[in-house]
Amino acid sequence: MIERLVRKLNARDAITPEEEDALRGLISTTETIPAKKVLVARREKLRHSVILLDGLMCRYRDLHNGRRQITALHLPGDFPDLHGYTLHYLDQDVMALTRSEVAFVPHDRLDRLMDQFPRLTRLLWFLTNLDAAIHREWEVSLGQRSGPAKAAHLFCELHTRFSVLGLAEDTAFPLPMSQTELGECLGLTFVHTNRILRTLRERGLADFRNRTVVIRDMAGLKALAEFDPAYLYLNRHAG
């Protein structure tokens, strides 16, 4: 059930069988969430966190003018609202972009885990720090990268993150979202997003069609994005 969470952690550190069992013991129930449903509402009092087992989720903020900014994409194995354990509520909404399977983790079980497994406490803290590192890189894209470079960087990042989970091929990965939603990640209108995707396609770098990204020129895409995966912290430390 939590194989992808374990795989994500194992890419950075070695998880013992006892620790894996402890992670499994966090889960109280599971639930299937329909696409476009808000799972965690902004400012809602939280007594549990969720692990995404399957599907694609996002964190976002709506403005009064109807514009939406997606601030994070969550893949299987992610803890989309783990920071809610200490903050007690979120300042943004968490929504399922696709039909998703989630596991609920009561905060009192996290309390016990923190007491009994201090190394796991450090690893879960690492996950929130990793989310923050990804946020900082998205901020650089939103503020300074050109439109094509924004899309290229996001595609490089997602290919890396899906690869860690064993969900990407060498040059392709699933991206079950619309062009409008992609634009909401990039801070761009639908028309601008469409133009950028055409640019990447015409330059022979990448295609986004049928809910899949196909990378035609990995080196060229990374060069355009100035992609450095160091912020994803994939240097594994055993013990």
Residue 239 has pLDDT above 50, yes or no: no
Residues of the chain with CATH 2.60.120.10: 3-136, 147-232
Residue 29 has pLDDT above 90, yes or no: yes
Q: Which CATH superfamily is domain 3-136 in?
A: Jelly Rolls (2.60.120.10)
Whole-prediction pTM: 0.95
Report which DSSP code applies to 88.
S
Res 1: pLDDT: 82
Which string of b and e fits 132-165 if b means at least 16 CB within 10 Å? eebeebbeebeeebebbbbbbbbbbbbbebbebb
Per-residue CA distances from 56 to 37, 185, 211 (Å): 12, 13, 12
Residue 237 has pLDDT above 80, yes or no: no
Both structure tokens of 155: 């595609």
Q: Reduce the DSSP state of residue 177 to 3 states and report it.
A: coil
**Angstrom distance (rounded) from CA 53 to CA 31:** 10
Strand (E) or helix (H) holding 192: helix 190-202
**Angstrom distance (rounded) from CA 25 to CA 14:** 19
Inter-residue contact 36 to 14 (CB < 8 Å):
no
Q: Which CATH number fits domain 147-232: 3.40.630.10, 1.10.10.10, 1.10.3720.10, 2.60.120.10?
A: 2.60.120.10
Average pLDDT over residues 181-193: 97
Q: What's the N-to-C CA distance of the chain in angstroms?
A: 24
Average pLDDT over residues 118-137: 95
Res 66: pLDDT: 87
Q: Reduce the DSSP state of residue 99 to 3 states and report it.
A: coil
Residue 35 has pLDDT above 50, yes or no: yes
Res 107: pLDDT: 97
